[in-house]
Amino acid sequence: MTDTAKPPVAARRPHSFARHGITVEDPWAWLRDPGYPDVQDKDVLAYLEAENGWFEQAMAPRKALTDALFTEMKGRIKEDDSSVPQKDGDHVYWRAFEIGAQYRKWYRRPVAGGADQLILDEPALAEEHDYFRLGAMSVSPDGRYLAYAIDNNGSERFEARIKDLATGELLPEVIPGTLSALVWTSDSKGLLYGLANENWRTDNARLHWLGQGVESDVELFHEDDEGFRVSVGLTSSEKWIVIATGDHVTTEVWLLPADNPAAQPLLVSARKPGREYEVDEHDGTLYIRTNDAHPNFRLVKASLETPDQWEEVIGPDDHFYLTDFTLFKGFYVTEGRQDGLDQIELRDYATHRAKRIPFPEASYSASLDDNPEYDVTKLRIGYESMVTPDTIYDYHLATGELEVLKVQEIPSGYDATRYETERLMIAARDGTPIPVSIVYPKDLPRDGSAPLHLYGYGAYGIAMEPGFSTTRLSLLDRGFAFALAHIRGGDDLGQQWYLDGKLDKRTNTFTDFVDVAKGLIERGYTSKGRISISGGSAGGELMGAVMNSDPDLWGAVVAHVPFVDVLNTMLDETLPLTPGEWPEWGNPIEDKAAFETIRAYDPYGNVRAQDYPPLMVTAGLNDPRVTYWEPAKWVAKLRATKTDGNVLILKTNMGAGHGGKSGRFESLHETAEEFAFILWQLGMAD
């Protein structure tokens, strides 16, 4: 692995296992350090460092292009940007970047008048760390204390601290290993949180009283099912603390009085396999969003006295997917998607009739923004589209006026009239129409000569919002079209859309993506080999699957922290996420059919002797979600198996996790690297 003229070669070491009567060979299994998350194996580290050296060597001639792209992207960022201030109790809160800063500062000002107060200084907290991420943060109800959690290595094992905002001093108690929200009791004397156990699973809700040692904290709730995760929250009225436990398909909710967290928890409704629900409270009535009667969810209500006796408020709809609801003192808001398009509706508690907020474009992304108060006369709303920069509105309840508060500023300039966006429907091979959001320069030729970038995810019921991107302009301005494939596995068209891309229907996700690409070729947007594609995590699994099935379609592939060693990961119940992931992918330990399904599409397991497209892969050594050895093993097997001479590079961030490098400019530089790789491979680097 020392010859800089040749890519690194990871040794083959015999390793096999048998399951359900089938023997699986895995000669690169040694790349998993048995001491993980403490990676010290010299051979493993040597291989990762050699791959990093090969990456740097391959990208060095592209440095000028990477720097130019970074300069472009940075020029579109308002460096001293700040959020729109929002009132919460006795203060107005906002956050702001300073010029040149990687991280933001958090401020507040008394509503009654007074000086601005810096309440949290991220640059100072990040100063001595290569990686920094702010997790949960919460101001106490009396406004005196700030609880916040930080991660300084990417492992997502956060450390919670409490700051006295009156004195600026930190309280002595420090809570390591948190992985949850931080929720205050109503008297501002107690703080609820969840600890990650040794397998990085939050199976508890704990209570800390200010001024007491952390060792005396009380466990209020414990979850025994290894597949479930516990979360803590607060109802909109802030009268009740919400303890929710669940996996990807089943939930159970308990309530505690916020003024008496030591009280006996109130169970809303006992868990039923396959039923999800979430709870809020208004004037003693519980409102519950649930999928008990339809995949697209419905809204029901119940009394606190009989919380498991539900009365329907909003019935389910085949075309309207109820994604969220928020209760306010005098009204409530439902959010959802009508045939895939975001909708925000206001409803009164008496009639529950909907008043829909209108938006001007045919395709867009819209949702409630920051609305911390319970009693309001206006709503903060966020809106964007593929051609419209992020816009913050106040919606005035009395008049229905949408007041523009802020439009994302692009200092280097932006002219929306230079671009067009469309929402297409492209038939999958089984006849299902797949939505595609696409943006392109107005003068894009339709003769197949243009390059096109196609992005997809398709997992966990996460929709791809047709939003705005300043970095994407660097491709559009070089003649690219950019398309989002709203493939099955996401919930873009409702919960059934999600169900049709998981478990034994997982391959729909991959074939949808391929069929969208072929449909775009047929429409003249691009041609075979002129398509670059990218995806991360489960979207990286998508990249691996479509590379195996249709390698000649793609001119360049970028896979970020790709979940490609699916079979091995789902067979290893000691890994942090595995038990909770079985409802998403299947349990191949107990279920032979699930084993065979995963084995049939597993990207790593299905690498074979054929030509593959140029590929750039990223990983994070501290990543607890997709462990570093998945992309490392995949790259090692591809090097040993593929029959082409195309570029294959792997970059492992040795001090970061699932999200790559932290800091807005470090992250931007990684995007510039990705785009430089794409332009290089499509012959557009000059």
User: Catalytic site residues?
Assistant: 537, 623, 658
CA gap 629, 112 in Å, rounded: 55
Non-local CB neighbours of 91 within 8 Å, separated by 6+ positions = 108, 109, 110, 111, 139, 143
Alpha helices in 387-533 (DSSP H): 473-476, 495-499, 507-522
CA atoms within 13 A on the CB side of 651: 21
**Nearest C-alpha neighbor of 208 from the set 234, 185, 241:** 185
Could you give the maximum distance between any two Cα atoms of the chain, in Å?
75
Non-local CB neighbours of 590 within 8 Å, separated by 6+ positions = none
SS3 of 383, please? strand
What number of other Cβ atoms are within 10 A of residue 450's Cβ? 19
Residue type, 662: S
User: In which region does residue 130 sit, left (phi positive, over 0), alpha (psi from -120 to 50) or beta (all else)?
Assistant: alpha
CA gap 280, 326 in Å, rounded: 8
SS3 of 356, please? strand
Buried b (16+ CB within 10 A) or exposed e, 672-684: bbbbbbbbbbbee
Residue type, 215: E
**Residue labelled with tokens 């009535």:** 285
Our CA angle for 388, 392, 396, nearest 5°, is 125
DSSP state of 83: P
Q: Which two tokens stand for residue 147?
A: 């609880």
**Residue labelled with tokens 């596995």:** 489
